[in-house]
Amino acid sequence: MKLLIDNLQYANWSEPIFQQMNEGGVHAVHVTIAYHESFREMVLNLEAFNRWFERLPHLIFKGTTAADVLKAQKEGRTAIFFGFQNPSPIEDDIGLVEICHQLGIRFMQLTYNNQSLLATGCYEDDDTGLTRMGKQVVHEMNRVGMVVDMSHSADRSTLEAIDHSTRPIAITHANPHWWQAALRNKKHEVLKALTDAGGMLGFSVYPHHLKDGTHCTLDSFCQMVAEAADRYGAQNLGIGTDLCQDQPDSIVEWMRVGRWSKTIDYGEGSASDAGFPPMPNWFQDNRDFGNIRAGLLTAGLSDGQVDGIMGENWHRFYQTSFEPA
């Protein structure tokens, strides 16, 4: 079976979801293990996942190296790779970057929508770029083998992270702004700089990032991917669905608000659709990746390009990103 990697999910984890990963032939998933948690709270989330690994070893195991993807493929299981959507677990301590890597964390966003100690989020009015701590944390992430993720960051901060990092970085779950003008989607100049530097873009199927939202067609999505392949090179593209399967609407409020505000931040939605939007009918869960593969072939991409986008490109990126420099 060809490699299949989804480089971002934040589901309400359950045995049925892990079983669906198995049925869908998903060999690796980058799982968000923290949004706004402190270091200690993040460790509790790791403890909870350790219990999943103990209970369901026939379905999932902890992934830390690119070789684990091939192990999962060979054994018919799914390797789970951990990442942060916010740098809050490292608090104000750069030494925790290495500790987190030792605990298995392989991705960290420098921001989640807001200004952080490291960089500016995409919802701030004034993007001041990487902070002094941010520049040093990027170097430390490069040193230990943790991927810099700028999925929720503002343009200047993202461009500075690309320039400042000695290793290619990633935007694990977003789409081009020229296709859908969501605030979180990335402008052409950002994607060009990212991919010119060897970085990776993971395409999101989260409806707020899609043209026509929930009603986005598979053809529209796949034609966008084909256009992105023409602009940036298919070898720099992958999938990062941002699947939030079975999550209650209260989790959206936690994601957007955390502890920083007393009022609801509607983010990319509005007061009328503050919860999770319905997924498009061609992607409901981990068993539907075949629809994307078929759609990409119909959109004119070659077998090799599609194999890369569905998993091989992320695997190659893992090979050069997760080990200490």
CATH of the domain at 270: 3.20.20.140
| 17 Cβ contact list (under 8 Å, min separation 6) | 11, 245, 246, 285, 286
Check residue 273 and give its pLDDT. 52
Check residue 266 and give its pLDDT. 56
The overall pTM is greater than 0.85: yes
Count how many domains the chain has: 1
- Sign of the four-CA dihedral 182, 185, 186, 188: negative
Range of the domain at 258: 5-321
The residues facing 171 across adjacent strands are: 201
Check residue 78 and give its pLDDT. 98
Alpha-helical regions (H) of 24-131: 39-55, 67-75, 95-102
* CA–CA distances in Å: residue 88 to residues 13, 112, 125, 211, 254: 22, 10, 21, 31, 14
Closest CA to 161 of 184, 138, 128: 138
Alpha-helical regions (H) of 179-301: 188-196, 218-232, 249-257, 289-298
Check residue 257 and give its pLDDT. 74
The string of DSSP letters for 220-247 reads HHHHHHHHHHHHH-GGGEEE---B-TT-
Block means of pLDDT (10 residues each) for the chain, 325 residues, are 96 97 98 97 98 98 98 98 98 98 98 96 96 98 98 98 98 98 96 98 97 97 98 98 85 73 62 73 98 98 98 98 95
Q: Which residue has the tokens 């509607």?
A: 266
Check residue 276 and give its pLDDT. 80
Check residue 272 and give its pLDDT. 45
Check residue 271 and give its pLDDT. 43
CA geometry: angle 166, 169, 172, nearest 5 deg? 170
